[in-house]
Structure 1
Amino acid sequence: MKKIFRYISIFSLAVSVMGCKSFVDDLEEDPNNPSGKSVDVNNMIQGVMLADALLHEGEMARMAGMWTNQFTGVDRQYVNLNQYLVTAGDFDSPWSTMYYGTITQARLAKKKAKAELNPKVEGVAQVLEAHAAGTAAALFGDVPFSEVTVSETPAFDPQEEVYADLQVLLDSAVANLELNKGILKGEKDLYYTGGAQQWARVAYTLKARYYMHTGDYAKAEEAALKGIASPEGNMVTPHGEAYYSLNVYYSFGQSERVGYMTAENAFAPMLIDPAQEGAFAQNRNNAKTDESARFNYYYTGEAGAYDLNYADEAAFGYNMGFPMVTYAETQLILAEARARQDNLAGAIEALNAHRSKLNEQFGEGAYQPYLITDFAIGGIENNGSLAAKDALLTEILEERYVTFIGNIEAFNDARRTDNLLGIPVKGTASKLPERFLYPQDEVNSNPNTPNPLPDLYEPTAVNK
């Protein structure tokens, strides 16, 4: 792992100055030619896994965490980032990791695997491509997709079309993986030691995620039922003791940029800190939930002086794995999708399944099972005159918010629900940002970049 993470660290710096124009360099070379630059497809796919991990655990995740008030930027450029004061250049590096490091390399691995009659690796490449491209569409709106690796200046496909294409891509991934043929070496698979069925379940949970993004709750429920079936099937990026395999949050906060980002006065720790008057239980009128252990898992300190918890076995500990696609998300998709379709009993069932696993992680009895009557007027999340459905939906969304601490999906939720939770806005802004900015490198190199450029507060198509 040490050599692998050294490669990814150096690689991420190298691609940070590239726009889409460079994505097609050397594509005329035959990846199946054994001479010259031929690379084993299992090595290729591991590189894609690492780039995808860096994408979802690195810069964009930290920014999403600050913009959803889970973290706080307190030093140097992070003071500006915390208050949404960004420029297009701030997105050059993550865009390159997303496109050159992940999507382009996934397509090359997919092409090589297909030529070698290796559907297992082809399917994994498709899942990783969909994971990165779905994040791109969610955060930026219209993005290059259909012409990536085809044109030096790829067109920007409409966001809704990208989501539709991702569903087709994930269906193809499932079909390839269900063949369970080909060779994915266990030591090259960071997540499932070569298990095709686990990857297929990840594909279904991603399908459900993207249906939620586009508001198709019936299809989200259908896909989630085939998704990750237990925490043992979670897609969690592993980390270790070597410097180059550290948890990325730990590496940033304890080595590279000490003191740049804390959780001072942040909303998320205040919400779940049992020591505060506005804590989880009191704020939600929720006597069935004790968030003491979860608070201590993510945070340290007290109101006004919170920080991320970097201790061993804490969320941001040096060797703590990072959750990418999980059983928790799958169950919470089921809960929300069912509630929005007026199946409140089914929603409660999925939410309780998730809570039972929280008990296993944070202590038996901390998360007692819910009844629909708990959400009546005067009950959980219902201090006024809400219908039980609306109170339950608020509870589900608030549970997603604290489940996704440090994860980009928290920012996606805030925008698609029009900030239903009332996450406090920072600085002088009047609302939360609606998107990330197109990177300056892409604006400079690709004439197909949307013009006029959307600003930070213009909703993407699916969130209008």
Structure 2
Amino acid sequence: MKNYKYILLFATLYLGAACTDLVDDVNDDLTELSADVIPPEKFLTGAQLANVLAQVGHANRISGLYTGQLTGFAAQYKNIYDYTLTSEETESTWNRIYQGVVPQTRLIISKLEGENALLHGICQVMEAHVIGTAATLFGDIPYEEIFIEGLEDPKFDEQATVLANVQLLLDEAIDNLNVAATGVISEDIYYNGDKQKWLEAAWSLKARYYMQTKEYSSAYSAAQNGISTASNNMNFIPIGDSSITGSKNTYFTLLNGSRAGDIGTQGSYFSGLLDPSGTTSRNHAKTDETARFEYMTIDQTDGVSNRGVASEFEPQRMVTYEETMLALAEAGARTVDFNTGLGHLNTYRQFLNTGAFLNVHFNARPYTYSDYIEADFQAGGLENADNIAQDRALLREIIEERYVSGFMTYMPFDDARRLRSASESDIAVSIPFNTSTATVHPERLVYPDNEINTNANIPSPLPDLYTVTDINQ
């Protein structure tokens, strides 16, 4: 890893100019400017846009291809779908993390000189978010020694250690946000400087990483302070108008360009679960997924055909109420009792039953999410036709809901790997293989070429796509 100097995307000064950077296949337009003369908050927008691409860009699509949520039809995405993932494919995501987000947020903090606890806390949450994502995707990553002056080859820290340090960083962020004055930060394209929303996002991230490390009691405690309403979701909200190139939903941008026809949901296991007429449909007397199925369909033919999650100005979710509620449901069922888990699941279903998660194109389409009762999970019940233990039947439904509600986030990929062990096989989503010859599922993303070629501390032997990460052993 190169010890990068602090760099500015043009977006850190002018959002409109950076909007064209929302396509992963385009090289960054970077320029070196003197950081001394620029107010610290001016670095925030560029860092947030880089984080958007780390969270809902190319790597996220790869995770969807490897969890039955997306289908690769042609070219690059067909190769990836068939489990041919080269180290070139992860280069852009690695650069977003180690060039676009972390150095910028640390530069902001260094320029604050101990003042502005709100902006300080926001930057810490952002670093925790992107480094946590990196650790869960790649396994061991450089962290403790990054950006040390004169150190060209930072060591790779163990995945579990990085995630523990991310939890500590989130604790510090929460402390800063708690004492921060209420304010507005116009450069903050996620929350406009709303400290309560940032606090809730920090707690939801703590719950996320505790879920991934199977610390379920801690996850349950953290999630209780997490995102309390869908209006507090951390989203990327596209801006501009149809005549302006860039700053659009990343799937729209992809399919409206050179990748039309390459990737979508048609034929995916995910679509089969939602499709009321599908052979693997999860629809029944208490659940009608018609509207969600149509809203969450991604038409691979071109960008403009999409009116749901991949439409031009549709927000893209990064840290959410949905994830938080389902962490409460799963962790509550595991560590408190059946009724606690069921209660949280029903609270979430009541939210779904408002249709608030749909946009105007689909909110009049049919949907039903009635409350479950205990009998639904007893042997022979609506959600337990195969007569497994009642508690396990509830967990199975919660995890399937996480799989569906986590569409276009990393949650399905994280859960698939977390629940791969034989002891969890009765409740894990049964994701099919993409090829007839595959016998194991992908367990991580591979390290990028540049890191392999420039960092003498790269792990040896080099882990491949199927090497299980430490937290999922």
Same fold (TM over 0.5): yes
- Residue equivalent to 1:426: 434
**Alpha-carbon distance between aligned partners in 1 of 2:291 and 2:162, rounded to the nearest angstrom:** 40
- Tell whether the 8 Å contact from 1:381 to 1:391 is kept in structure 2 after alignment: yes
In 1: Cα distance, 2:21 partner to 2:96 partner = 13
- Cα 1:184–1:143 change in 2 (3 A) is farther
Question: Which of the residues 370, 381, 384 maps onto 1:382?
Answer: 384
- In structure 1, the residue matched to 2:167 is 167
- 1:148-297 matches, cutoff 5 A: 148-150=146-148, 151-181=151-181, 184-185=184-185, 187-240=186-239, 241=241, 242-281=244-283, 286-297=284-295
The residue number in structure 2 matching 1:352 is 346
Distance 1:365-1:109 versus aligned 2 partners, 3 A rule: same
One-letter code aligned to 1:5: C
Indicate if the aligned counterparts of 2:22 and 2:250 stay in contact, CA closer than 8 A: no
Q: Whole-Å Cα distance in 2 between the matches of residues 86 and 198 of structure 1?
A: 37
- 2:133 corresponds, among 128, 132, 135, to 135
> 1:442 — aligned with what?
451
Change (3 A) 1:181 1:88: same
Residue identity in the other structure for 1:14? D
**SS of residue in 2 equivalent to 1:323:** strand
Partner of 1:22: none
Give per-residue Cα distances to partners, 1:52-98, cap 9 Å, x unaligned: 01111110111111111111111112111011111222211111112
- Tell me how far apart the structure 2 counterparts of residues 45 and 54 of structure 1 sit (CA, whole Å): 15
Checking the alignment, whether the CA contact within 8 Å between 1:246 and 1:319 is kept in structure 2 is yes
The more displaced of 102-111 and 249-258 is: 102-111
2:28, 2:288 → 1: CA distance? Answer: 46
Query: 2:204 and 2:341 mapped to 1: Cα distance?
Result: 17
Distance 1:180 1:67, change over 3 A: same
Q: CA deviation at 1:388?
A: 0.8
CA pair 310-11 structure 1, distance change in 2 beyond 3 A: closer
In the aligned structure 2, how far is the partner of 1:396 from the partner of 1:307? 33
Amino acid at match of 1:147: E
Q: Distance in 1 between matches of 2:268 and 2:109?
A: 42
The answer to whether the 8 Å contact 2:155/2:457 transfers is yes
Report the CA distance between 1:155 and its aligned residue: 0.9
Contact 1:312 1:319 in 2 (8 A): no
Amino acid at match of 2:434: K
TM-score by length of 2: 0.88
The one-letter amino acid of 1:459's match is V
1:5 aligns to what? 19
Question: 1:127-160: per-residue Cα shift (whole Å, max 9, x none)?
Answer: 1101100010101111111111113211111111
Which blocks of at least 5 consecutive residues in structure 1 are unaligned?
Answer: 17-24
Residue 337 of structure 2 is aligned to residue 323 of structure 1: no
The letter for the 1-side match of 2:345 is: L
Give the letter aligned to residue 92 of structure 1: E
Alignment partner of 1:236: what SS? Answer: strand
Structure 1 residues 298-356: Cα deviation after superposition (integer angstroms, max 9, x where no partner): 1168xxxx879965651111000001111111000000001112511111111111111
Aligned residues: 439
Native 8 Å contact 2:116 2:180 kept in 1: no
1:58 aligns with 2:77: no
Taking structure 1 as reference, are residues 11 and 318 closer, same or farther at Cα in structure 2, changes over 3 Å only? closer
Q: Report what 2:468 is aligned to.
A: 459
SS at match of 2:235: strand
Preserved contact between residue 72 and residue 266 of structure 1 (Cα < 8 Å)? yes
Q: Please list, as runs of the form range in 1=range in 2, the aligned pairs for 1:22-171 lying within 5 A after superposition.
A: 31=35, 33=36, 38-113=37-112, 115=113, 117-150=115-148, 151-171=151-171
Task: Supply the distance in 2 between the matched residues of 1:62 and 1:429 (Cα, whole angstroms).
Answer: 20
Report the residue type matching 1:232 in the other structure: S
- Opposite residue 354 of structure 2, the aligned amino acid is E
Higher helix share: 1
1:2 and 1:447 mapped to 2: Cα distance?
Answer: 39
Determine the C-alpha separation between the residues in 2 that align with 1:148 and 1:175: 24
| Letter of the 2:282 counterpart | F
Distance 1:66 1:154, change over 3 A: same
Amino acid at match of 2:291: A
Hey, what's the Cα distance between the residues in 1 that align with 2:25 and 2:89?
Answer: 18
- Alpha-carbon distance in structure 2 between the residues aligned to 1:440 and 1:74: 25
Q: Distance in 2 between matches of 1:123 and 1:87?
A: 36
How far the C-alpha of 1:7 sits from its partner, in A, is 5.3
CA offsets, 1:394-432, max 9 Å, x none? Answer: 100100111111112211111101172110011121121
Q: Alpha-carbon deviation of 1:381? A: 3.4
Q: Is the 8 A contact 2:238 2:314 kept in 1?
A: yes
Q: Distance in 2 between matches of 1:365 and 1:92?
A: 41
TM-score normalised to structure 1 length = 0.89
